[in-house]
Structures are given as structure tokens and as C-alpha cells.
Chains A and B, each alone.
Chain A
Amino acid sequence: MSVIYVLLTISIIIAVVFFVAFIFAVKNGQYDDSYTPSIRMLFEDELVKDQSKPSIKTKKTN
């Protein structure tokens, strides 16, 4: 069998895997809200700041 058939099979399988992954992502609602996650992403810094406060306090008491 020529190598081109092997390559074709592999390439199509890979393409289909990604396609199915996309369909599942849509089905799970990942694309329903495309705005909030973009804001939520920016909050991570704030949360770290919050958690660091109590740790400073405990250091002082020690």
C-alpha cells in the first residue's frame, strides 16, 4: 500500500478528532457565554492579593 493512503488516513483521523472535540465543546456550553470568561480571567490577581493578607497577619503574630 502506498504511503499516501497512510498519510491520508492519519490526516483525516486527526482532523476528525479535532472536529469532534469542537462539537463536544459546543455541546457542553463552552461557547454559550463568550464574554464573562474574558473578564473573569482578569480577577486572578485580585484573589491572590486577598489570600496574601491573612498570611501576613499570621506572620506578625508569630
Chain B
Amino acid sequence: MDEKTILELSQCFHCGDPCKKEIISFEEKSFCCNGCKTVYELFSENDLTCYYDLQSSPGAIPKDIEGKYDFLSQQNIIEKLTEFDDGETQIVTLSIPYIHCSSCIWILENLNKLNKHITSSQVNFGKKNVRITYNSKKYSLKEVVLLLCSIGYEPYISLEDFKTGQQNINRSLIYKVAIAGFAFGNVMFLSFPEYFEVGEFWIDQYKHTFRWLMFLFSLPVVFYSGSDYFISAYKGLRAKMLNIDVPIALGIAVLFLRSTSDILFDLGSGFFDSLTGLVFFLLLGRYFQQKTYQYLSFERDYKSYFPIAVTKIEMYGTELPIQVYDIQKGDRLLIRNEELIPVDGILIKGNASIDYGFVTGESATVLKQSGDKLFAGGRQTTGIIEMEVLKSVEQSYLTQLWSNDVFNKNRLDSFTTLTNVISKRFTIAVLSITCIATLFWLVVDPSKALNVFTSVLIIACPCALALAAPFTLGNVLRIFGKLQFYLKNASVIEKLAAIDTIIFDKTGTITSSKKSTAVYEGVEFSESEEILLKNTLRGSNHVLSRSLYDILDVNNIITLDHFEEHMGKGIEAKFHSDSMKVGSSSFVGTTEEMAVLNTVVHVSSNNRYKGKFIFHNKYRKGLSRLFNRLKQQYDLAILSGDNEGERDYLKKMLPTKTKLLFNQKPVDKLEYIQYHQTEGANVLMIGDGLNDAGALAQSDVGIAISENVNVFSPACDAILEASKLRHLHMYLQMSKTAIKIIKWSFILSLMYNVVGIYFAVTGQLEPVIAAILMPLSSISVVIFTTVATNISARKLE
């Protein structure tokens, strides 16, 4: 057997994961688990094996979801989730984060072959959702969702969907661009004859018709397409700010009035070509800048993490699905395996092993006994528990963070863009040139004064200036997107360029959340002890045993004579005459008191203490190199919610200047950033969990690190794929370069303005000059920015 076939055999045919424990063979194909095999069987029965032809091993392992979607049989929940319901046909749009390839689209659009009550289904790949039409009399919403789960496409239904219902898509920008483009094209054709052959007989006869047609075409451009500029200029003036839209709005208005009066009094052909072209190019710039990642959300709060409903236990033991918002103090809730605890409460029944990864970013699970307090946001990881509610959703510890003011303030307003800074000076300069030139001509030749006055305002209209930033930033936004760095909008780039302080969260951000390494300290194991240890760990399902098992080398598999797992203490095993204990210090029987704060597992053999495994976080690749690169330009700090166990290790690894703060609560992190900001720092926060949500919102730029961008991250300005963290310095450098490029294109467009203003103040501005200068300057600025950003992006790999 050659290497390739071995590789193929050991890889699951359905999901592509390596088959670790055992290989399940079916129809000469190997599967990693029964779940994958079942999905394959289902597809092959229904003639849907094309799924595997389009893309090799495209599937996901179906999860155990028993009882999780019981709430979908409630009428009021169905009503809010479905977008159409006439009693027989229902249409629902479900978000499925797993959608990632063409096979996914194919299988989801062939759902009707799996069940005949599904009429049709349509995937939107960009939004990662599927719109399903089905016969609700024969097939319920719950069954649709369960069908999706059974083939590995579990939909994501959250409180957020529940509240907003159907969204309205705003397409007004497309309409505006379309109208401006349409008018621009037609006006160009109509104005073309008059550019050259002035004084010919047929032009003289028809030019009035042409001019009035152009006037008609320009009306919707000025009053609909350009309306945003007037509104924005008005708002700017009211706030006593000369933003870039002030000279633009002035330019549009003067262009329109001057052109109209020109054709009204038969003074010339007007500037309708420049007017429509200007608005068209400006709107194109806006459209280009508006790159959105539809499947990512940058505005999530706790609502998107929580399920819509949980199971409430009624007085006589009956189970009832209840909406999260309806949970009241004193209710008894049933939390199943892998379910999220939505409210604070007290554990009543069952073994709770809670993963607070969502809240703290720590991946370790916490064991709780009945009577212990449970906090909202934890995920139950073993079996079913019952709890009594202490606080409602809004009052819970986790959700209280969102009542902080940071989450309510609109941060765009307080930020002045580079364009607005320039435009302030620009507007003042243009207005003073206009006044001086008009005054001059009033003295020399009053008949030309009005002409010059309008000409200067027309030619100085900062079209190219206004295009420089959108095209540069829009292009950088796209380049970053290709490199798995997703920004909320273009202004984030400008803010990134101004950053001088970078604060990192520890767990999950600079450490990888899944992997950990362990160091052994103590007496060396003999060979037989090593085999026994490995086999002892093999039997246990505890998180620590599993990760220790993965770290140790493979040994012979032996059958243990005796194996016992003590909940919350450790494991015990016997083989022939040897015995072994693995677990906490008291269980193993060591007197050694531990001052170490790290997670530790102790081992004893034949009741003799051997040593301990100390778990360290596994830091992401290239971290110390990244920090060394960043230290020259930025202040660095690490804020961790964790204890100080890793302090020495971090000190060794990172530059000495780096500040290390431990035991930071979510609010502490927020306040720390606030404090630095009052001292004038521009703070970049890099975090991952919900515990960083406050800090991410407070910082100037908040970047959420995500191991899988399809999974949900807290509200932030940008989402960065975890493996790309080591390139952070390059992204920051690129943002700075982008600002430089914008500045250069400002200079370029100002040069065009100088040339134009020369024509204008000397009273020689012909419509044809304006019609050449305006597109020429815009297009050359666009070409310059695009080429310059693409060249500098090559350094980013």
C-alpha cells in the first residue's frame, strides 16, 4: 500500500478528519465515527452522493442535539422565526455557519430529495443562510431543523434573530449610482456635439433641445443622487464643522444653478456633463468603500450567544420550553449537555462541569456541586443539570456589562477623518480665492465677475480629493479581507494608523484555546510505569487526562485489571501487581503543598509519589517575534483574567517593556483602557471572549481574534483569523502606508485644482475644459491609489 492510500484510508470520507480511535468501514470507504457514516448512508440512499464529487470530504460530524430544539414546536416562536406562513406553506431563513463550499450549496438546495415535504431551498452563500419552503401541515419547523442537524448542517438560531425578525436591505446607494450613471452617459452624448463644432447650422437649430434634455437628466441627479451631500453638508455646518461635503454640495449647487441660468439666457451649453459625472464618480467611490462581509457581524452582544428558549421544569415535573426573556426568579431550569446557562442561578441537581470559555476566555472547565452558584454564560459539558434561577436575563452578572455606557455611544461621530481635516483648510482656501478673484474682476471688468465667481466654485469642487480616501481605504479593506483580516468599515484603517498602544488579552488571544503543553517534574518513570500511565489515562474522559494522553508518546495498549474514576479527584488503575494513581495532590497522597498556580496533575505509582505534570498554555506561533517587532513603535500590555501562574514564563518570552496585569475582571479591562485614553493614548485592544467585550468597545480599535471566523465573536471593529496574529505588525504598517497614499493623492488632486483655478480666475473656463479636467483628475487619482495600494500590499505576502 503506498503512502497516499494510507492517508486516504485514515481520513474520514465524510468530514476529512483523521480517523483516530477506530475506522468504520462502509462500502469501501472509511469514516471517523458513526455520525459521519449515517450521513453518508442517508445521502447514498437518496442518490445524493454527488455531494462528495464536488468537493472531497466536505461534511461535518452531526452533533447530538436531543431535546435542544424542542422550543421550535411552540407556536409563538415559529411565528417569529418564519417569514411567511399561510397555514400550509411556511418559509424560513436559517443561518448555517458551516456553509463553506460548493458541496454545501448543492446538498442544501437538494433538501427536497431527502424529504418530499420540503418544496424548495435556496442558499445565499455570502450570508451563509438557507431559505427553505416546506409544507407545515406535514412537516414542522422543528423537523426541518432536525433534518439539517442530522446531515451535519446545524442552523444557528439565537435571540438576535428572534428580536429583529426580517431585515430590510437598504439598496438606495445602488439606485443613486444607477441614476447618476444613466444620466451621466446620456448627458455626455447630448453635450458632445457642442464641444467641437460650434456655429454649424444644424447644431444651432437643435442645441436648445439638447440642452433642455440635459437639464431634465440632471434633475434626478441633483435632487435624488446628490441629496446625501446636501444633507451631510447641512449637518456639518450645523455642528460647525467644514467637512468634505460642504465644498462638494456647494460645487453641485453652483454647477446646477450656473448651468440652468446659462441655458435659460442662452449664454452657453452649461456644465451638466461635469455635474452628472461628478456625482456619479463620488457615488462610485462610496459604493467601492462599502465592502461588507455579510456573514460576519461586528455588532454582536450577549443576545447572539444565547439560545431563544430553554427548558423549564413545571411544578409536577413536566418539561416546558420557555423563552429566555420570560425566565423569572425562582424558576427551575433544565440545562442539557452543551447548552448555555442563560441566567445566574443555583445548581440543584446533577454534576455540573461548566466551561466559562465564553465569559472568561479560559478553556478549563469548572466542577460544581449542588448548592453552588452558576453564572450566566457558562456551558454545561457533562450530562443534564437542574438549576434554580436567581436573576432574570438582563440582571445577570454577564449581561450587566452591557449596561455600561460604552455600548450605547456612537463612536463614528467623535472621530475626524483625514479627509475632513484637509477639507477644512481646503474649503477656507477655496472660499478666499473665490472672494479675491471676484473682487478683482469687479474692479477690472464687472461683466466677468459673476462668471469667475461661479467658475472657481465649480472647478474647485474637490471631486478627486473626495475620491482619494474611499478608493484607497476600500482597496486596503479588500486586501485585508483576502488575508483574513476583516474590518467593519473603511474608517477603521485610519484609526489603526493612529494607534500607539496595543493591549492583548491572554487566554484565547495570544494562547491558542485548545492546545496546551505539559512539563513533567519529578522522578523518572520506568518503562512499565509509562505504559501503565498511558493506559490509565486512556480510559478517562476528563479534559486533562485527554490532553495529557495526547501529549504522551504512543505505547502498547494493555488491558487494565482494575480501573476507577473518582469524580473531581482523579483516576486509579491496577495492572498485575502494579497500581497507579493520577489526579489531585490530596488524592495521590503527596504532602507537598503546591504554591504553583498552574493546573497540575500528580502521579503516584504503587503508592509512591512520582511527580507532577504542569500544564502551560500553548502560545501562538511567532508571538515573541511579533512583540519584538511591535515594541519599537508601540506601548505593549497584556491584560489577563487569569491568575499569575504564567507571569515568569511570559516575562522570559516577551520584551521587558511589556506590562503584565493579571486577575483582571471585564470591567477592570475596560477601565484600564479608559485610563490610558484620558492620557492621550490611542489604544488597540486585541481580545477574543465575551469578557473582552467591554474593552473592545472602549478601545479606539478593537480586534477580535477568532480561530474560526464563522463562529461568533464579540462586538468589535475588526475580526482577525487567529493564525494571522503573528502578521499584526504588517497590517498596522499597511494602514500607515494607506494614509501616506491618501496624502500623496491629495497633493495630486490639488495640482489639478491649481490648473483648473488658473482657468477659472482668468475667466477662461469653458464647459469642455471642466468636462476634461474633472474626469481626468478623478480617474488619475483612482488609478494612482489602486496601483499604489496593490504595490505596497505585495509586502503582506
- State the A residues within 8 Å of B (CB): 2, 4-5, 8, 12, 15, 19, 22-23, 26-27, 29, 31-36, 39-40, 42-43, 46, 49-50, 53
Identify A22's interface contact among B53, B102, B178, B186, CB under 8 A.
B178
A10 to B124, CA, bound (A): 39
A56 to B68, CA, bound (A): 43
13 pairs from A and B in contact (CB 8 Å cutoff): A15-B186, A19-B182, A22-B178, A23-B175, A32-B169, A33-B127, A36-B105, A36-B123, A39-B105, A40-B123, A43-B105, A46-B50, A46-B54
A22 to B181, CA, bound (A): 12
Closest approach, in angstroms, between the C-beta of B175 and any C-beta of chain A? 7
Q: Is B109 an interface residue (CB 8 A)?
A: yes
A51 to B657, CA, bound (A): 68
Whether the pair A35, B178 counts as a contact (CB closer than 8 A) is no
Whether the pair B106, A8 counts as a contact (CB closer than 8 A) is no
Whether the pair A50, B50 counts as a contact (CB closer than 8 A) is yes
Contact flags (1/0) for B153-188 with A, using CB distance below 8 Å?
000000000000000010100110010001000100
Whether the pair B178, A36 counts as a contact (CB closer than 8 A) is no
Known: A4-B206, A23-B178, A50-B47. A36 touches B126 (CB 8 A): yes
Q: Which 7 A-B pairs have the closest CB atoms?
A: A36-B125, A46-B50, A33-B124, A39-B102, A35-B125, A19-B182, A35-B126
Q: Is B754 an interface residue (CB 8 A)?
A: no
Whether the pair A8, B47 counts as a contact (CB closer than 8 A) is no
Whether the pair B50, A49 counts as a contact (CB closer than 8 A) is yes
Whether the pair B123, A26 counts as a contact (CB closer than 8 A) is no
Closest approach, in angstroms, between the C-beta of B44 and any C-beta of chain A? 12
Q: Is B209 an interface residue (CB 8 A)?
A: yes
Give the nearest-CB partner of A31 in chain B: B174
Q: Which residues of B contact A36 (CB under 8 A)?
A: 105, 123-126
Whether the pair B105, A26 counts as a contact (CB closer than 8 A) is no
Whether the pair B125, A27 counts as a contact (CB closer than 8 A) is no
Closest approach, in angstroms, between the C-beta of A41 and any C-beta of chain B? 11
Give the nearest-CB partner of B202 in chain A: A4
Whether the pair B109, A40 counts as a contact (CB closer than 8 A) is yes
Query: Given known contacts A22-B178, A46-B50, A49-B50, what 19 new A-B pairs fall within 8 Å (CB)?
Result: A4-B206, A8-B209, A8-B213, A15-B186, A23-B175, A26-B174, A26-B175, A29-B169, A31-B174, A32-B124, A33-B124, A33-B127, A35-B125, A35-B126, A36-B123, A39-B102, A39-B105, A39-B125, A43-B109
Secondary structure class of chain A's binding surface, majority of residues: helix
Q: Which residues of B contact A33 (CB under 8 A)?
A: 124-127
Whether the pair B109, A26 counts as a contact (CB closer than 8 A) is no
A40 to B121, CA, bound (A): 12
A29 to B53, CA, bound (A): 31
Q: List CB contacts (< 8 Å) of B96-152 with chain A.
A: 102, 105-106, 109, 123-127
Whether the pair A26, B209 counts as a contact (CB closer than 8 A) is no
- State the B residues within 8 Å of A (CB): 47, 50, 53-54, 102, 105-106, 109, 123-127, 169, 171, 174-175, 178, 182, 186, 206, 209, 213
Whether the pair A5, B209 counts as a contact (CB closer than 8 A) is yes
Closest approach, in angstroms, between the C-beta of B236 and any C-beta of chain A? 30
Q: Which residues of A contact B209 (CB under 8 A)?
A: 5, 8
Give the nearest-CB partner of B185 in chain A: A15
Closest approach, in angstroms, between the C-beta of A44 and any C-beta of chain B? 11
Closest approach, in angstroms, between the C-beta of A38 and any C-beta of chain B? 9
Give the nearest-CB partner of A43 in chain B: B106
A29 to B126, CA, bound (A): 14
Closest approach, in angstroms, between the C-beta of B401 and any C-beta of chain A? 35
Give the nearest-CB partner of A46 in chain B: B50
Give the nearest-CB partner of A29 in chain B: B169
Whether the pair A12, B175 counts as a contact (CB closer than 8 A) is no
Closest approach, in angstroms, between the C-beta of B215 and any C-beta of chain A? 14
A39 to B101, CA, bound (A): 10
Closest approach, in angstroms, between the C-beta of A39 and any C-beta of chain B? 5
Q: Which residues of A contact B175 (CB under 8 A)?
A: 23, 26
Q: Which residues of A contact B169 (CB under 8 A)?
A: 29, 32
Closest approach, in angstroms, between the C-beta of B95 and any C-beta of chain A? 14
A31 to B175, CA, bound (A): 12
Whether the pair B53, A19 counts as a contact (CB closer than 8 A) is no
Give the nearest-CB partner of B109 in chain A: A40
A34 to B174, CA, bound (A): 14
Give the nearest-CB partner of A50 in chain B: B47
Closest approach, in angstroms, between the C-beta of B84 and any C-beta of chain A? 15
A39 to B123, CA, bound (A): 11
A33 to B54, CA, bound (A): 21
Closest approach, in angstroms, between the C-beta of A49 and any C-beta of chain B? 7
Whether the pair B182, A15 counts as a contact (CB closer than 8 A) is yes
Whether the pair A42, B102 counts as a contact (CB closer than 8 A) is yes
A44 to B213, CA, bound (A): 47
Q: Which residues of A contact B174 (CB under 8 A)?
A: 26, 31
A12 to B209, CA, bound (A): 13
Give the nearest-CB partner of A19 in chain B: B182
A22 to B398, CA, bound (A): 48
A42 to B127, CA, bound (A): 20
A32 to B175, CA, bound (A): 13
Whether the pair B171, A26 counts as a contact (CB closer than 8 A) is yes
A28 to B123, CA, bound (A): 16
Give the nearest-CB partner of A42 in chain B: B102
Known: A36-B105, A36-B126, A40-B109. A26 touches B213 (CB 8 A): no
Give the nearest-CB partner of A39 in chain B: B102
Q: Which residues of A contact B50 (CB under 8 A)?
A: 46, 49-50
Q: Which residues of A contact B109 (CB under 8 A)?
A: 40, 43
Q: Which residues of B contact A27 (CB under 8 A)?
A: 171
Q: Which residues of A contact B102 (CB under 8 A)?
A: 39, 42
Q: Which residues of A contact B105 (CB under 8 A)?
A: 36, 39-40, 43
Whether the pair B53, A46 counts as a contact (CB closer than 8 A) is yes
A4 to B125, CA, bound (A): 49
Whether the pair A19, B127 counts as a contact (CB closer than 8 A) is no
Closest approach, in angstroms, between the C-beta of A16 and any C-beta of chain B? 8
Q: Which residues of A contact B213 (CB under 8 A)?
A: 8, 12
Whether the pair B126, A19 counts as a contact (CB closer than 8 A) is no
A5 to B186, CA, bound (A): 15
Give the nearest-CB partner of B105 in chain A: A39
Give the nearest-CB partner of A4 in chain B: B206
Closest approach, in angstroms, between the C-beta of B36 and any C-beta of chain A? 22
Q: Which residues of A contact B106 (CB under 8 A)?
A: 43, 46
Q: Which residues of A contact B182 (CB under 8 A)?
A: 15, 19
Identify A53's interface contact among B47, B171, B178, B206, CB under 8 A.
B47
Whether the pair B178, A26 counts as a contact (CB closer than 8 A) is yes
**Most chain A Cβ neighbours within 10 Å, of B109, B124, B125, B169:** B125
Closest approach, in angstroms, between the C-beta of B94 and any C-beta of chain A? 15
Closest approach, in angstroms, between the C-beta of B186 and any C-beta of chain A? 6
